[in-house]
Structure 1
Amino acid sequence: MQALPLLPYLAQQAQAKLPVDIWHYLQSDAGCGAQLQSNEAGWQIKKLIPRPLTALHHPNTQCTMFAEQWAHPIMLAPVAYQRLFHADGEIGTAVACNAQQGQMMVSSLASQSVNEIVKQAQQPLWFQLYWQGDRARTEVLLRKALAAGVSAIVFTVDAPVKQALIDLPKGISAVNLAQPLAMQALQAGQSQVFDGWMTQAPTWEDVAWLRQQVTIPLLIKGLMHEDDARRVVALGCDGIVVSNHGGRVLDGTPTVAAVLPEMVAAVAGQCKILVDSGIRSGQDVFKALAMGADAVCIGRPYVWGLAAEGAMGVAKVIRTLRDELEMTMALTGVSSLAEMRQVKLYV
């Protein structure tokens, strides 16, 4: 019998089923776990006031963005190598997402073909793009995603230095990449960071170039500084995903919940604002939307579901978060996502 709430229960089941190294890869952050915990706490310290007796007029959680309409604002963040966690992989996740009338971002490091993932999802999906070291290689991956029929590109810029690494088992790889990105041999006295990784990292000039290549919505993922938000708007991008990569890149950053209001103010409605990192409940979703986000992204929670129960587990996670969001709306007297913007949060 399940004694725990669903998400902790699925996390427990996932840990029991996964090899130790794969579980550690999924749960690791850039430090000793403190960033992951602070991400979660950042949402939890925000408090809500109940509003009983409020009449709800046609309550719903519908979310519309870039001419797409979903039943809820809970998106699935890009997670690499999902066949590490279950044989269903990204296809299972996509099928579950479609069944729950939502949207997902397919990772550049997906372990299944982006074309097949989109085909099995039976809906256009979003594609998360990693820079491939130069424009030519990046364009090859971009064109492959566009040919598969993706409806938005999410360019992740906050992980030029990789912290969470794993030796992949035989049969699992980033199948959509032409070939692994190889580092040039370092000379004596050169830096692995400055003369290695950072020579293949994107710049603002590359963002401007990418904007010219993409006619569908382009979002920039991994920004937390208001000046960067304003620069994204100036370059004509369509959205920002405010994120610290789930704590997996730079340890000791502010929580996403702490910087979200500044980012919302900086863009002043000129582009969409999404947010991830530390979302663990429907109440967290509500708080993010009340603070100005247009939608939220979850990562580890749906992978717990995938590892524990395959596609069905992913669907359970999405449905549970949506149920919790609806309960929070009912208890705070809110009928729609738009009305959440009027809700005051307390600390």
Structure 2
Amino acid sequence: MSGSAREAGAVPPVCLADVERLAEDRVPTEVRDFVAGGSGDESTQAANRAALDQVRLVPRVLAGSDAADPSGPLLRGTAAMPVVVAPMAYQRLLHPDGELAAARAAAKAGVPFTISTLSSYPLEEIAAVGGSTWFQLYWQRDREQVLDLVRRAKEAGCEALVVTVDVPVMGRRLRDLRNGFTLPPHVTAANLGGVPLAATHTRLPGASGVATHTGQAFDPAIGWADLAWLRERTTMPLVLKGILDPRDAARAVELGAEAVVVSNHGGRQLSGAVASITALPSVVDAVGGRCSVLLDSGIRSGMDVLRALACGADGVMVGRPVLWGLAVDGEAGAALVLDLLRAELRESLVLSGCPDLTAARGLTAVLA
């Protein structure tokens, strides 16, 4: 850590919750609510955490190893741990370097970084940082704009195309509505253009400028036929993010998806949706090894990563903790979050008698 994060006498963060607490004093209330909040009564967000805490693992003993290797294959590549930095919008809200800093931290940690359609730096600049980058696509009303984003992502060297399928419209996020949340002038959707972007900076009582913009720009009628159309027009590995029903997972495989992400968007879309970890086992069964399965929503520790692996996931996506790290100390803060996550995962592997990820996926998980 650097700067104020290393004030004399301060105890350095030793877990992701510590980083979040440090960030609370460094982020304006409106921005903190935008990042931390969920949709509706935020019960789905709470359910993610409660459901993860209910998963208890049965450790093995006498593994014959004093170390554990958290690295392994992930989609078409390899990663230092089974973690992908999730797509998150407008990261310059948390730090001037925004996505550039977070992508550098991910590259140093040896994990993929997912660039959002709504990133506050152009995707080309983020991809140029180095490391493994994926690109997340929000389906635009203009199909030519969709194809242009996909083309740009491929030319920039992005290794996968992550299509978010659970946002036909933005969930009703009450904190943002109460705050009349808008983006400051220096933060924009750098990959997009056109008149609708003005909405992100227009403050109206009881409205969210971000939600207004997405309502104007995103196509709520996206369907399976659109994804089939896209599959025919790109050779990039296709990842569908926002799957909870096993029937949708099976259809994604039939469409040619190489991975699905079991996700309720961190509790930010359908209020009352099932917790992601609860939906995971049935999705794993439905795809039957025909594609990779990642878990998103609520991962807050290395133990949570191990829980996901034991429940059948090939890896996880981590979101908000990286943003809190950015807020605390830019690239160094984001790197700290990923370092803590890897250290916790390694310790959890050793304590559960797992020398590697294959063994982790063989652990027995029970519900407390």
Which residues of 2 match residues 65-104 of structure 1 at below 5 A? 65-104=74-113
Write out per-residue CA displacement over residues 194-215 of structure 1, whole angstroms, 9 at most, x where no aligned residue: x988864311100101111110
Distance in 2 between residues matched to 1:197 and 1:99, nearest whole Å: 34
2:135 pairs with 1:127: yes
Task: Select between 78-87 and 11-20 the one with higher mean Cα deviation.
Answer: 11-20
Aligned to 1:56: 65
Give the TM-score taking structure 1 as reference length.
0.92
**Cα separation, partners in 2 of 1:119 and 1:52, compared to 1, 3 Å:** same
Partner amino acid, structure 2, of 1:174:
A
Which residues of 2 match residues 35-46 of structure 1 at below 5 A? 35-46=44-55
List alignment gaps of at least 5 residues for structure 2: 1-9, 198-211
2:18 pairs with 1:14: no
2:343 pairs with 1:319: no
8 Å Cα contact 1:133-1:181 kept in structure 2: no
2:268 pairs with 1:260: no
8 Å Cα contact 2:119-2:189 kept in structure 1: yes
SS at match of 2:191: coil
Aligned to 1:172: 187
Write out per-residue CA displacement over residues 31-81 of structure 1, whole angstroms, 9 at most, x where no aligned residue: 233221210111111112333432138731112134311111111000100
8 Å Cα contact 2:118-2:189 kept in structure 1: yes
8 Å Cα contact 2:168-2:219 kept in structure 1: no
Q: Which runs of 4+ in 1 moved over 6 A?
A: 195-198
Q: How much identity, in percent, do the aligned residues show?
A: 38
Distance in 1 between residues matched to 2:234 and 2:73, nearest whole Å: 21
1:328 to 333, 348, 354: 348
**Cα separation, partners in 2 of 1:141 and 1:4, compared to 1, 3 Å:** closer
SS at match of 1:47: strand
**Cα separation, partners in 2 of 1:238 and 1:307, compared to 1, 3 Å:** same
Distance in 1 between residues matched to 2:313 and 2:260, nearest whole Å: 10
Aligned to 1:224: 244
Aligned length: 336
RMSD: 2.1
1:273 to 276, 293, 302: 293
Partner amino acid, structure 1, of 2:348:
T
Write out per-residue CA displacement over residues 287-320 of structure 1, whole angstroms, 9 at most, x where no aligned residue: 1011111110011111111111111111111111
Distance in 1 between residues matched to 2:159 and 2:290, nearest whole Å: 20
Task: Select between 79-88 and 198-207 the one with higher mean Cα deviation.
Answer: 198-207
Query: What is the CA-CA distance between 1:154 and the residue it aligns to?
Result: 0.2
Aligned to 1:186: none
Distance in 2 between residues matched to 1:20 and 1:143, nearest whole Å: 37
**Cα separation, partners in 2 of 1:198 and 1:136, compared to 1, 3 Å:** closer
Distance in 1 between residues matched to 2:60 and 2:357, nearest whole Å: 16
Aligned to 1:210: 230
Aligned to 1:160: 168
Aligned to 1:188: none
2:159 pairs with 1:139: no
Which residues of 2 match residues 97-112 of structure 1 at below 5 A? 97-112=106-121
**Cα separation, partners in 2 of 1:313 and 1:284, compared to 1, 3 Å:** same
Partner amino acid, structure 2, of 1:14:
A
Aligned to 2:360: 340
8 Å Cα contact 1:272-1:294 kept in structure 2: yes
SS at match of 1:17: coil
Distance in 1 between residues matched to 2:252 and 2:59, nearest whole Å: 37
Query: What is the CA-CA distance between 1:220 and the residue it aligns to?
Result: 0.5
Distance in 2 between residues matched to 1:124 and 1:12, nearest whole Å: 29
Distance in 2 between residues matched to 1:108 and 1:303, nearest whole Å: 17
Query: What is the CA-CA distance between 1:162 and the residue it aligns to?
Result: 1.1
**Cα separation, partners in 2 of 1:50 and 1:272, compared to 1, 3 Å:** closer
Query: What is the CA-CA distance between 1:181 and the residue it aligns to?
Result: 4.7
SS at match of 2:128: helix
Give the TM-score taking structure 2 as reference length.
0.87
Aligned to 1:285: 305
List alignment gaps of at least 5 residues for structure 1: 183-191
Partner amino acid, structure 1, of 2:154:
L
8 Å Cα contact 1:92-1:310 kept in structure 2: yes
Write out per-residue CA displacement over residues 218-244 of structure 1, whole angstroms, 9 at most, x where no aligned residue: 101101001101110111111101100
1:151 to 141, 152, 159: 159
8 Å Cα contact 1:242-1:275 kept in structure 2: yes
Distance in 1 between residues matched to 2:265 and 2:29, nearest whole Å: 22
Distance in 1 between residues matched to 2:132 and 2:356, nearest whole Å: 25
Query: What is the CA-CA distance between 1:26 and the residue it aligns to?
Result: 0.4
Distance in 2 between residues matched to 1:327 and 1:58, nearest whole Å: 9
